[in-house]
Structure 1
């Protein structure tokens, strides 16, 4: 199982992938600048409902995620790099990605 948190300036996204790399849970919520509290809430929810043994690999991305990742000793993945890895996996040979973030 793998869990990813993407923490932006206003929202936090959480996704849980099973061992077959299928999405079993995802959410997109505003954090209202309560990043730690909302992150804890989403991870607790994911663990309770989707991680039977409570264990998973975790990575964090996003403009507001670097500090949290560093303080928790969790891998931080830069968003452009993550997009490139995903494109290579899902659409091999892709040479152009247009991403419209907010």
Structure 2
């Protein structure tokens, strides 16, 4: 009887924990439980997406700034025993 009662209690605890959890993930890092609702997870995804957009905009502005500076392409030609070697570099002032 004690075994039945302890098994029943353990089953109820495990069952209620699974029902409360919104997301259970089993992966290389082990088992993880995410108690957030799908709406809260969507908001978190949206925030991360906005951060990526801001970072991309920042990178593009930096790249555009570098392109606006006075730059030139310098090609160096070197003769080696195997033939001609060309090395092209971009030099910005």
**TM range, smaller chain:** under 0.3
Q: Which is richer in strand?
A: 2
Structure showing greater relative contact order (alpha-carbon pairs closer than 8 Å, 6 or more residues apart)? 1
Give the TM-score normalised by the residue count of structure 1.
0.21
Give the TM-score normalised by the residue count of structure 2.
0.23
Q: Which is richer in helix?
A: 2
